[in-house]
Chains A and B, each alone.
Chain A
Amino acid sequence: MAVQRNMNPQRCPMPVQDPMVRRRNFDEVALGYTYEMAVEEARRCLNCPNKPCTTACPVSINIPAFIERVAHEDMEGAYQIIAQSSSLPAVCGRVCPQERQCESKCVRGKKGESVAIGRLERFVADYHREHSTEQPDQPAPNGHKVAIIGAGPSGLTAAGDLAKLGYEVTIYEALHVAGGVLVYGIPEFRLPKMIVRKEIDNLKAIGVKIETNMVIGKILTVDELFEMGNEAVYIGSGAGLPRFMNIPGESLKGVYSANEYLTRINLMKAYQKGSKTPIKHSKKVAVVGGGNVAMDAARSAMRMGAEEVSIVYRRGMEELPARKEEVEHAQEEGVIFRTLSNPVEVIGDEKGEVCGLKCVEMELGEPDESGRRSPIVKPNSEFVLDVDTMIMAIGTSPNPLIRSTTPGLTVNKRGCIVTDGESGLTSREGVYAGGDAVTGAATVILAMGAGKAAAKAIDEYLRSQK
């Protein structure tokens, strides 16, 4: 039965919490489509036979097919199509940069707005979670064991795919809860932890085992994982050590890495009333950096009660690496963007607390290797921001724990694990890697894509061994 196409050039807007209200709470910002909105938006999809959107999806979800099911109000059917390709749809629907992936290729985007694929994915996953009572099938065991290091998006995806093929999968997680950056990094208002927990429960239901408090490289090495009967190991250990700028004053009280600040708030739950987690109750905060992590830190600081929060970024608004939606949300919530500014010194008071941030103004010169115009210091442009907290969100460098305890594992000069392109195979037989441990800090969906590709490669490798 054909459905009536919706030829509105505009997508159905996402209901959101009012900015002036949400800037002081940790509840989810985007409220999600209603059933009617989802169906209406789904009917904007032209169901293109060549699926340009799918080719731009790192995990190759059959996007037109699932949207067609939504248009026909078959939500469970839509979920089953997504679930074939993605282990974490409720997460991806919320945090993927769809505007740079699937939605950027949407034919409707040529004359108007693209179909809101991410919002539909989120709706389908949420609808399934709220309405489905079906227990997922336990796949028949194939008698082979695989170990996965890290219960973040990459490891969870690889685990899900391998478990569905019948592998006995154990994930070793360093922290006390599974989820990786989904629980320690991305804040509640962007990704409620209940949703992450449910997605992880789904994996457990198909037989994935998760052992927390296991720092691989310390308590067990990769070689010991093989000795324990695992036939392949996937390293999805994440990015690692936060970078600092090496400017004077970074050790003052009130200087945080974004990782520490967000971990205290998210993982250690400082956002909840009565939490035992110590955190500075800041009045004026500067967040240095322009990526999604910087936006998360700035918006979290606002919600923790700060009076004034600034993003300090050395290039211009156009160059901000964060998702456009995150930047807009931050602006609506009152975050100040001090672009073309670069810190040169953190100033402290007599008690060793941060009391200011000395910056210089920048201007943009010629494009550098990355294609972005490189910032140059304007002479005599020093100014001081009045802040009591500074949060560094300028990236991470790879964690040494696994590379230093795994003989024969090749890393590049930055310390990232070297892999053989798509498959994620490392220099060690049977050892695969993906996500930030390979690429350096990137996105959730790229990490998931790598986990997916590696699961496929591991399956092919182990089949060839039989």
Chain B
Amino acid sequence: MYRIVRKKALNPTVSLMEIEAPLIARKAEPGQFIIFRAKEDSERVPLTIADFDRDKGTVTIIYQIVGGSTMELDTLQEGDSLQDFVGPLGRPSETEGLKKVAVVGGGVGCAIAYPLAKKLSSLGCEVDSVIGFRNKDLVILEEAFRTVSRELRVMTDDGSYGTKGLVTNALETLIQEGNQYDEVIAIGPVVMMKFVCQLTKQYGIKTIVSMNPIMIDGTGMCGGCRLTVGGETKFACVDGPDFDGHLVDFDEAMHRGTMYREFESHAREASCNLLNKEG
């Protein structure tokens, strides 16, 4: 069960895994997520589905190594199996009736934005994409986005590739060029989604964001993934992970995201030391 049929490094810290999970592949839709446990005593970690192949019965995830759990996942190789793989969880992204959309992806968030851009494009929706990275080495999925987008803008923070600047700069340019979007879909770091929403609010363009908070069970039981959306408490796992970005309290989400930061960096150090010893 949950065998890794393909593993590929996309950049120095981001990798792709295609995993055998036929029942999940049969149901998965863009916007939904899975929860994995790499090994017997590992944490449960949510990851949004990057792709799925119903015929092959596989689900693809793309992950960035950020802490102990993703390091542990990364020690698994093709042919190995994950301990647990649960899904598809959360509600699928809504794509119906959209004619023209701007998809904005930041960093590893592009992995989640891409399947959505692909689905929209296949439904006949006109997709403009803006993808942003810290530098040239971290760029992922550029070609994939190009094939499903009418217009693609690649941004880097340091200007080492594409255009120097933030995704919001490129998005604002597209809007000012006269593009009338039904919706903007922004997926990436919380701070990026916050600034995209600030911009689109000015232009009155509805914006959907995909939230990825701390969670345990992913079925509504623990309440750890709660967010404030439009003044109400929502659970990302059952009410989301997509939300109307103009209603999300991003500052609060950023605060809550740092709850275990110290723990994560300890775990990362511990894992590194372990790997160094093994190496």
Q: CB distance A352 to B221 under 8 Å? A: no
- Is A278 part of the contact surface with B, judged by Cβ < 8 Å? yes
Q: Which residue of B68, B89, B223, B249 is within 8 Å of A218 (Cβ)?
A: B89
Additional A-B contacts beyond A242-B223, A401-B219 (18; CB < 8 A): A176-B37, A176-B86, A215-B86, A219-B23, A219-B86, A242-B221, A250-B233, A251-B226, A251-B233, A252-B255, A256-B224, A259-B221, A263-B216, A276-B43, A278-B43, A278-B267, A352-B258, A400-B220
Which residues of chain A from 175 to 222 have a CB within 8 Å of any chain B CB? 175-176, 184, 212-215, 218-220
Shortest Cβ gap from A463 to chain B (Å) = 31
Given A276-B42, A399-B238, also A260-B86 (CB < 8 A): no
B41-53 contact mask (Cβ, 8 Å, vs A): 1 or 0? 1111000000000
- Is A138 part of the contact surface with B, judged by Cβ < 8 Å? no
Shortest Cβ gap from A33 to chain B (Å) = 34
Query: How many angstroms from the CA of A111 to the CA of B145 in the assembled complex?
Result: 80
Q: CB distance A268 to B216 under 8 Å? A: yes
Task: List the 9 closest pairs (A to B, CB-CB), nearest first.
Answer: A278-B260, A257-B223, A278-B263, A352-B255, A260-B222, A242-B223, A213-B86, A176-B84, A260-B224
Q: CB distance B264 to A278 under 8 Å? A: yes
Query: How many angstroms from the CA of A220 to the CA of B235 in the assembled complex?
Result: 22
Query: How many angstroms from the CA of A175 to the CA of B35 in the assembled complex?
Result: 10
Query: How many angstroms from the CA of A267 to the CA of B44 in the assembled complex?
Result: 11
A side interface size, CB within 8 A: 39
Residue of B nearest to A261 (CB): B222
Shortest Cβ gap from B228 to chain A (Å) = 6
- Is A264 part of the contact surface with B, judged by Cβ < 8 Å? yes
* Residues on A with beta carbons closer than 8 Å to the beta carbon of B64: none
* Residues on A with beta carbons closer than 8 Å to the beta carbon of B256: 251, 253, 352
* Residues on B with beta carbons closer than 8 Å to the beta carbon of A241: 220-221, 223, 235, 238
B250-269 contact mask (Cβ, 8 Å, vs A): 1 or 0? 00100110111001100100
Query: How many angstroms from the CA of A184 to the CA of B23 in the assembled complex?
Result: 25
- Is B188 part of the contact surface with A, judged by Cβ < 8 Å? no
- Is A277 part of the contact surface with B, judged by Cβ < 8 Å? yes
Q: CB distance A276 to B37 under 8 Å? A: no
Query: How many angstroms from the CA of A371 to the CA of B264 in the assembled complex?
Result: 48
- Is B85 part of the contact surface with A, judged by Cβ < 8 Å? yes
Query: How many angstroms from the CA of A246 to the CA of B256 in the assembled complex?
Result: 17
Q: CB distance B89 to A263 under 8 Å? A: no
Shortest Cβ gap from A458 to chain B (Å) = 25
Query: How many angstroms from the CA of A84 to the CA of B27 in the assembled complex?
Result: 41
B171-201 contact mask (Cβ, 8 Å, vs A): 1 or 0? 0000000000000000000000000000000
Query: How many angstroms from the CA of A214 to the CA of B221 in the assembled complex?
Result: 15
- Is B217 part of the contact surface with A, judged by Cβ < 8 Å? yes
B side interface size, CB within 8 A: 42
- 21 chain-A/chain-B pairs, Cβ below 8 angstroms: A175-B217, A176-B44, A214-B86, A215-B86, A215-B89, A219-B23, A219-B27, A240-B221, A241-B221, A251-B255, A257-B224, A259-B223, A260-B216, A260-B224, A263-B221, A269-B41, A278-B264, A352-B256, A399-B221, A400-B238, A401-B238
Shortest Cβ gap from B221 to chain A (Å) = 6
Q: Which residue of A215, A219, A276 is within 8 Å of B41 (Cβ)?
A: A276
Query: How many angstroms from the CA of A257 to the CA of B238 in the assembled complex?
Result: 16
Residue of A nearest to B2 (CB): A213
Shortest Cβ gap from A266 to chain B (Å) = 11
Residue of A nearest to B43 (CB): A276
* Residues on B with beta carbons closer than 8 Å to the beta carbon of A418: none
Residue of B nearest to A400 (CB): B238
Q: CB distance A399 to B260 under 8 Å? A: no
* Residues on A with beta carbons closer than 8 Å to the beta carbon of B263: 278
* Residues on B with beta carbons closer than 8 Å to the beta carbon of A242: 221-223
Query: How many angstroms from the CA of A401 to the CA of B222 in the assembled complex?
Result: 15
Q: Which residue of A244, A267, A275 is within 8 Å of B223 (Cβ)?
A: A244
Query: How many angstroms from the CA of A244 to the CA of B86 in the assembled complex?
Result: 26
Given A218-B88, A220-B23, A268-B43, also A399-B220 (CB < 8 A): yes
* Residues on B with beta carbons closer than 8 Å to the beta carbon of A244: 223, 226, 233
- Is B163 part of the contact surface with A, judged by Cβ < 8 Å? no
Shortest Cβ gap from A341 to chain B (Å) = 23
Q: CB distance B223 to A260 under 8 Å? A: yes
- Is A174 part of the contact surface with B, judged by Cβ < 8 Å? yes
Which residues of chain B from 30 to 44 have a CB within 8 Å of any chain A CB? 37, 41-44
Q: Which residue of A246, A278, A401 is within 8 Å of B233 (Cβ)?
A: A246
B128-166 contact mask (Cβ, 8 Å, vs A): 1 or 0? 000000000000000000000000000000000000000
- Is B83 part of the contact surface with A, judged by Cβ < 8 Å? yes
Given A241-B223, A263-B222, A399-B220, also A251-B86 (CB < 8 A): no
* Residues on A with beta carbons closer than 8 Å to the beta carbon of B223: 241-242, 244, 257, 259-260
Residue of A nearest to B227 (CB): A251
* Residues on A with beta carbons closer than 8 Å to the beta carbon of B42: 276
